[in-house]
Structure 1
Amino acid sequence: MKKIWMLALLSLTLHVSVFAQTEYSNTSASGRGGVVNTFASDYQTIGVNPANLGRSSHRLSFTFLEGGFGISSQAFTKDKIRDFRAKAEPAGESLAQRKSYAQAFTSDDVLNLGGELNTFAVSVHFPKIGGFAFSNRQRMLGYAGFNKNFSELLFLGQNAAIAKETGENELVYVADIFDGTELKASWVQEWNVAFGRTIVDLSGVSISGGLGYRYVQGLALGDFSVKNGQVNAYGAISPTLAVDNDDYFANPLSTLLDIRKELTPVGTGHGFDIGLSAELAKKVKLAVSVTDIGSIRWTENLMAGQDKGFILSELESKESNSFESALDMAEQLVNTSMEFAPQEELKTNLPTRLRLGAGLNVTRDVELGLDYVHALNDAPGNISQDFLGVGIDVMATRNLRLSTGVSAGMGDKMNLPLGVAFVTPIYEFGLSTKDIMGPLSDENPGASMAFAFLRFKLGRL
């Protein structure tokens, strides 16, 4: 029987290939490459720094269906993507070419992906009390990294060095041969509430503090990782997604797009954000926050795997470098190498992060910002490397705001973002990308897009 939970997660994270790890529910932040801590205001502070609600710019702000997606990798090239899309015939690729793919995919950064969607978000500010914000948000995050043995088995099958070095009926263990391999993914729905207010207001100095809370409903979770001999293999997935038939896997989005089916949560949890921000002489901004402090308890459709050994010679491989063949082998490796059984409960941490920011109002129409983000745990969906970015907003005209900057980290290359927003006193829409050069790059290409078409702000303060 197929291990539906793991294959479905692999399908979502590897087959769809449209998500990356950044602030894609905030179009303005995406246009600055993820730089947001000192820029965020109103409902945009949720998940970033609730303290900024203490200095909201409008009495009432709200948005609908604002979000985005993206993908980045240090292993892909345009040629590799083109070959995968071609879906070559089994006998159509040479062993030498498949070896080159195995070598390229031996990387701790094969894939970083994620996506976010604010179905709605609203904030309201009371000058003598502070600011409140509420939102519903969908978050998908994923990460993949392969060690040499895992990558060679994906593309070479029985021609992999580890397969040739192992006896025909010899038992091998995941902890020994896959160390450094990681496949992580999560999909959660959040119900957020946040509050922030000014706590110190002196001449030339203003300090705000804030707290955020989120009720988290887990829809899918997957973790297959090996680090220093420690093996983690578990997953839970909404029953709506866990369809045991080949038609689903041929089109993994079909179930998601069927609005008649309800995605039943398989885990619930609670998360908290805490933050401080300061403004000096109405010019300099400083911000610090810790986000996603908390955990989720997964109790439904939960499977956990044990490393009891498996026989490499029993793996069935195809002589092809097509994406379908690699995905089939990934399924085999996960399902064959581990012995899975139902588990009553699993507690996982939320992807807790430390966020530091500094900003400068250069003029009335120009604002600069610097952000640093550091992962405080290795929970599914957390960033794999620290993030550092510099961003700028420029009001080019009365109704046109341009955003750009430079950013690096999170397992990604250096990026050049761009955002364009049409702004009126009450309405705003915009589009942005994390890296304008990503789709054009021959080495390590990527793609991203964030969008906001229904932003409204009323009662400027």
Structure 2
Amino acid sequence: MKKVLLAAATLLTGQVTALAQSESSSYSVVSRGGVQNTFVHDYQAIGINPANLGRSTSLVSFTVAEFGAFYSSQAFTRKTLKSAMKLASDTSIGMEERIELARAFTSDNVLNLGADVNTLAISVSVPKIGGFAVSNRQRMLGHAGFNKNFSELLFLGQDASMFDNVDPNKTLFVSEIFDGSEIKMSWVNEWNFAYGRKIMELPLVNIYGGFGYKYLQGLGLYEFSAKGGKVKAYNAFSPVLDANYDDYLDDPKFNYDSADGLLNPVGRGHGVDLGLSAEIIKIVKVSASVTDLGNIKWTENLLEGQDKGFTLSQMAEDGANNNDFWKDAGKMARAIVDSALVFTPVNEMKVNLPTRFRFGAGVKIGQRVEVGVDYVAPLNKAPGNIASDFVGLGVDFSPIPVFRLSSGVSSGAGDKLNIPFGFAITSPVYEFGIGMRDVTAPFTKNNPGASVAMGFLRFKIGKPQII
């Protein structure tokens, strides 16, 4: 388990497409670039704004296996991405390509990635009582940023410039030499319940309120960060991820969870969502919510690293003296972990959920067009939270009743300017669609990325209510 940094580096350089979405599995949300606070209703309001359940559009609505995935980077170009893919396939690359990769990865926003799956979600609207919804959801999110020393060591090994500028026998600390670097990821299995209803009715304004509760099963947590002279290093992995804990099994302080169930959570917690929304003259909508208030307590397979320092001479001794780049970089990364970060078992650790504030405003223009704007701000720096504020504008357009086009523009959350697009085939009882967060991302020279969300089993039962 001392090799966790190496494993994370391998993920970032070689398996980017494996964990490839945004904060929602809903194709309609992704089609608007993440704009959603005034658009979502029925079970789609779970985790976004539970107040919108008070204005559900169907008596019963449900979906099965709706999913999405994404990755993005403000560091890559198409050329460096190709080099990284060559590296992932164990292909030898030259010094020039190695230097280019080291430069590209020297960024506080190397990579944002995630996957989001609604295995099942259902909502029921009860007249005069309100709307109820339940769901099961898998959320996997990650973020990475490297400073110059970390990136050069990862790609250049013993050719990194830090070997020329630092006394090889001087004790160095991760908190200093890698200041500004971080890798964060989380995988959580959510069981959600949400309720919303109308709480005030005025001549021109209806106001709705709602709350959501989630029971959380933590399946994976990883953080390595060196910021402001302090290091955070901890991890906990479910047996389903097949992590190697052999070095710790004889330690009485290590609370080991072996594989004896389907997912085997190693952390458990609770979260709350709160929301308000208003509908003005049945045309204008305004919504605000705070989501993911709470934490997860990780209690099994939990390790925490301490920064004990290292010397470059030790790393050089462990480095490979050959021209095979991958082996060389791998041994150098492993040398850091083995000599600098000492991992020991801990009994428990509470980690906050990625709490966010959301605000939205929207307007319906006739029966065919709806426009909305969203603003989302991270309220903490918990693993899985967005890196910066998000803003976006989304549009739904139905040229005919059974066909809907969606698009808009969005930016922030550690990402570049996005132009989303998607479509849906709709009927009174069935809907399916596909959405992309940014249609230009796969073709841009700089900062390429990819995103997709789709669902083919979305159903509605009962005559929609007029909202």
Report the TM-score, using the length of structure 2 for normalisation. Answer: 0.90
CA–CA distance in structure 2, aligned partners of residues 219 and 409 of structure 1: 28
- Which stretch of structure 1 is more off in the superposition, 439-448 or 331-340? 331-340
2:307 matched residue in structure 1:
307
The residue aligned with 1:441 is 444
What are structure 2's unaligned runs of at least 5 residues?
246-258
Taking a change above 3 Å as real, the CA distance of residues 322 and 71 of structure 1, as seen in their structure-2 partners, is: farther
Contact 1:92 1:320 in 2 (8 A): no
1:149 and 2:149 aligned: yes
- Does structure 2 conserve the Cα–Cα contact (< 8 Å) formed by 1:5 and 1:303? no
User: Is the alpha carbon distance of 1:395 and 1:92 closer, same or farther for their aligned partners in structure 2, counting shifts above 3 Å?
Assistant: closer
Residue 237 of structure 2 is matched in structure 1 by: 237
Alignment CA distance shift 1:10-1:301 (3 Å): farther
Counterpart residue type for residue 367 of structure 1: E
Question: CA 1:191 to 1:90, structure 2 compared with 1: closer, same or farther past 3 Å?
Answer: closer
For residues 321 and 452 of structure 1, what CA distance do their matches in structure 2 show? 44
Distance 2:200 2:44 in 1: 22
Q: How does 1:11-22 map to 2 (within 5 A)?
A: 15-18=14-17, 19=19, 22=22
Query: Retained in 2: the 8 A contact 1:123–1:131?
Result: yes
8 Å CA contact 1:416, 1:435 repeated in 2: yes
How many Å separate the matches in 2 of 1:440 and 1:53?
A: 38
Q: What is the aligned partner in structure 2 of residue 370 from structure 1?
A: 373
The answer to whether the 8 Å contact 2:272/2:292 transfers is yes
Find the aligned partners of 1:11 and 1:45 in 2 and give their Cα distance: 36
1:279 corresponds in structure 2 to 279
One-letter code of the match for 2:376?
V
Higher mean C-alpha displacement, 4-13 vs 195-204: 4-13
2:343 to 340, 345, 348: 340
One-letter amino acid matched to 1:412: D
How many angstroms does 1:89 deviate by? 7.5
Q: Is residue 126 from structure 1 mapped to residue 162 from structure 2 by the alignment?
A: no
The corresponding residue for 1:291 is 291
Q: Does 1:349 align with 2:382?
A: no
Instruction: Give the fraction of aligned pairs with identical amino acids, expressed as a percent.
Output: 52
Q: Secondary structure at the match of 1:98?
A: helix
Summarize deviations over 1:103-127 as a string: whole Å, max 9, x none: 2211000000011000000000012
Report the CA distance shift for 1:390/1:324 in structure 2 as closer, same or farther (over 3 A). farther
**More displaced stretch, 332-341 vs 225-234:** 332-341
Amino acid at match of 2:179: D
> 2:100: which partner in 1?
100
| Matched residues, number | 446
Query: In structure 2, what is the equivalent of residue 393 of structure 1?
Result: 396
Return the letter of the residue paired with 1:437.
T
Contact 2:38/2:360, CA 8 A, preserved across alignment? yes
Q: 1:285 to 1:261 in 2, by over 3 A?
A: same
Give yes or no for contact 1:20–1:72 (8 Å, CA) kept in 2.
Answer: no
Do the aligned residues in 2 keep the contact of 1:8 with 1:241 (CA within 8 Å)?
no
TM-aligned CA deviation for residue 336 of structure 1: 4.0
Q: CA deviation at 1:156?
A: 1.5
Q: Structure 2 vs 1, CA of residues 263 and 11 (structure 1 numbering), >3 Å: closer, same or farther?
A: farther
What pairs with 1:422-461 in structure 2 (closer than 5 Å)?
422-459=425-462, 460-461=464-465
- Contact 2:219–2:266 (CA under 8 A) maintained in structure 1: yes
Structure 1 Cα separation of the partners of residues 193 and 78 of structure 2:
42
TM-score, normalised on structure 1?
A: 0.92
Match of 1:310, SS state, is coil
CA distance in structure 1 between the partners assigned to 2:323 and 2:40 by the alignment: 48
* Contact preservation (8 Å) 1:8, 1:242: no
State the 1:329 CA deviation: 4.9
- Partner residue in 1 for 2:39: 39
1:317 Cα shift? 5.2
State the secondary structure of the residue aligned to 1:99: helix
Deviation at 1:363, TM superposition (A): 1.4
Return the alpha-carbon distance in structure 2 between the equivalents of residues 400 and 20 of structure 1. Answer: 28
Q: Displacement, 1:11?
A: 5.2
1:376 to 1:14, Cα distance in 2 relative to 1, 3 A:
farther
1:379 to 378, 382, 386: 382
Residues 84, 9 of structure 1: alpha-carbon distance in 2 compared, 3 angstrom cutoff: closer
Give the whole-Å Cα distance in 1 for the aligned partners of 2:114 and 2:289.
22
> Partner of 1:76: helix, strand, or coil?
coil
Task: Specify the alignment match of 1:420 in structure 2.
Answer: 423
Structure 1 partner of 2:254: none
User: In 1, Cα distance between the equivalents of 2:188 and 2:162?
Assistant: 37
- 5 Å-filtered alignment, 1:157-172, equals 157-172=157-172
| Paired residue type of 1:310 | F
Q: CA deviation at 1:411?
A: 1.1
**For the residues of structure 2 that align with 1:211 and 1:280, how far apart are their CA atoms?**
21
Tell me the equivalent position of 1:50: 50
Matches within 5 A, 1:204-243: 204-243=204-243
Q: Which amino acid aligns with 1:3?
A: K
Checking the alignment, whether the CA contact within 8 Å between 1:105 and 1:151 is kept in structure 2 is yes
- Structure 1 residue 84: Cα displacement: 2.4
Q: How far did residue 154 of structure 1 move?
A: 1.1
1:191 pairs with 2:194: no
Q: CA deviation at 1:396?
A: 1.8
